[in-house]
Structure 1
């Protein structure tokens, strides 16, 4: 494999690329369409993309707005997760040898309960050595957005938040 970075765009592009808003409470109205990134208040996840590198796979969540979110991660071997708010146990749809669950939340921001504007496919297969899929598992229960990553063989992972531009980066080492 060459050292060139292979990038696979997960989400749709264009002005209608939408967000999961980690912002203050929204007006009491139902959102029927995706909210453009330019309308984002607080912190918004606007895109997810992957790349293959010689020693690791990378998942990047591009952010819009001000500030960086807090990210907590856990692993499991079953792919089971509790659906936000209901407590109902569910399983990630893309099979893997193990699973990485990410909980992304804002420091001083709460997720708009009436706005679910994430336009990237909720379940996205990925064909990389260590990363097999990305799934949105909860989009805003009590200010948290959660994702499940289906993994193949990997040795370790690292989650970082970076600025310039703001993003959440997950490296999964082979």
Structure 2
């Protein structure tokens, strides 16, 4: 092989080696980054959820009856939430409630059945009328058999439907349609009764 051909061969080998090194460097940078992104997403999406709520009826005795002012809902990682805002209620004067699954929602007073969408119906009774007991003025604009005003359940994982039942003898009755008979809990804070319905029976989502 002449000196010219030898130099040409060396140059070609050097170029090929450089290209391979560049390709290997790029692959090494991309693959770990993609793997890290996937791992990070999986880690962020795995949420430990509480267990042990059960699906049995839950009750609390009232200290009095104060007006219901609003009902609203929210989505969380492990559950869907419905909140009853009650004027003037405090931890020292708890709000009575009875929450449990029923086969059908029957309106307080009339006994008429109110259709509620979903795979199961959670009946919620809160010791807070939709009117001021003193003046009789309306405090919450719920209407029998109608969805709760201002509540949009689009995109919810567990909630399917809401229906206002009645405000009768100091209690407000609401039908909550859910995907299935799932665990739930009831919490109280100053001015609020909170019902959380789990997305599933499992502890990890």
For the criterion TM > 0.5, the same-fold answer is yes
- TM-score tier after normalising by the smaller chain length: 0.5 to 0.7
Q: Does 1:76 align with 2:102?
A: yes
Distance in 1 of aligned mates of 2:134 and 2:166: 13
TM-score by length of 2: 0.53
For residue 49 of structure 1, what is the aligned residue in structure 2? Answer: 72
In structure 2, the CA distance between the partners of 1:111 and 1:85, relative to structure 1 (3 Å rule), is farther
| Structure with greater helix percent | 2
The aligned runs of 1:17-166 (5 Å cut-off) are 43-66=66-89, 67-77=93-103, 80-87=104-111, 89-92=112-115, 94-105=116-127, 111=133, 114-119=136-141, 122-124=146-148, 125-127=152-154, 128-139=156-167, 141-153=168-180, 155-163=182-190, 166=191
TM-score by length of 1: 0.61
Q: Deviations over 1:90-125 (max 9, x none)?
A: 123x4110010011126xxx9569554412574145
8 Å Cα contact 2:79/2:196 also seen in 1? yes
Count of aligned positions: 128
| Structure with greater strand percent | 1
Q: Deviations over 1:112-149 (max 9, x none)?
A: 6955441257414513110112221011x222111110
List alignment gaps of at least 5 residues for structure 2: 1-43, 46-61, 200-205
Q: Does 1:167 align with 2:192?
A: yes
